[in-house]
Amino acid sequence: MRNRPGFLIALGIIIVIGLIFLGAKYGPGILDNNQPSPPVAGVDPSPTDPGDKLPPASPVDPEPEEPNPPAQEPEKPEAPDPGSLSNKKMGWSFTRNSEHQVPGIPAAARVITNYGGMYVGDTSRKVVYLTFDNGYENGYTAPILDALASNQVVASFFVTESYINKNPELVKRMVAEGHAVCNHTSTHPSLPDVSDARIESEIRKTEEAFRKVTGTQMAPYLRPPAGEFSERTVALTQQLGYSSVFWSIAFKDWDVNDQPGADYSYNHVMTNVHPGAIILLHAVSSSNAGALDRILKDLKAEGYEFSPLP
């Protein structure tokens, strides 16, 4: 067939024209298999379809963990209103023994420990706490301080406001030599007999007088005048920042006109001493001043240590 090439050329032209016609009608997608499928109306194309090349996801910081909240301290019970407590007056008393054991006290008196009060210290070892009451000066505080210094013993002095104002040099010496100066109120009233406001005034006036003389804060211990107290007064004392301090060794040494003598003072302390004893001596006593050096030396010889109030 001599006309076969011409026939093939004509057929090719017809096929091309047909394909051009179909492309114009149905769009270019039919010719380009690499084009994505046209989107369906109303539906967003999914970014996770196979073949899509999305940029790598940005790293996301993990949510910070909540730190463990600090342990909450148990709420302290609200301090009782002293005015709601019993104001029955009690006088401090105890029952001595000859076995060098802690003396007994009335059951009602144990209320003092409910409000931070004390009458003994550490009873597990041979330690004693030496305390002096200074309501006024009778000429014996300097010799008492001399005996304490020579034996290297520290003590606690309970002083009134008037004592501080009248004897500033002695008070300064107490501080300089390492003794604790504590509160014995301003005018020495029986605390159950006066109001809450009066008790606070008695305490604050004394500590302010001490601050003016020494420039320091008074030690946070109060000795109730005459050892008279009630639940109300020991609770109020604690709320005012003080511990009520009583004693487990004492005798009638405050009457300057009825002094039993140095031997009596010495024998009384040595007979009744016990581990943890809080010893009360009055600084107006000539008997105590005369006996103190022997007391200090012989208590040490028996293995006792002297400590500040706990």
Q: How many whole angstroms separate alpha carbon 152 and alpha carbon 129?
A: 14
Half-sphere exposure of 228 (CA within 13 A, CB side): 14
Q: How many whole angstroms separate alpha carbon 290 and alpha carbon 271?
A: 17
Instruction: Identify whether the C-beta of residue 154 lies closer than 8 Å to the C-beta of residue 174.
Output: no
Query: Which pair of structure tokens corresponds to residue 273?
Result: 């001493």
User: Three-state DSSP class for 181?
Assistant: strand
DSSP state of 156: E
DSSP state of 118: B
Point out the residues that are catalytic: 133, 282
Quick one: CA torsion of 118, 158, 132, 252, rounded to 10 degrees?
-80
Instruction: Identify whether the C-beta of residue 245 lies closer than 8 Å to the C-beta of residue 221.
Output: yes
152: exposed, middle or buried (C-beta count within 10 Å: 0-12, 13-18, 19+)?
exposed
E strand spans, 188-274? 221-222, 228-229, 243-244
Q: How many whole angstroms separate alpha carbon 29 and alpha carbon 268?
A: 121
Q: Over the range 40-73, which residues count as b (16 or more CB within 10 Å of their CB) and which as e?
A: eeeeeeeeeeeeeeeeeeeeeeeeeeeeeeeeee
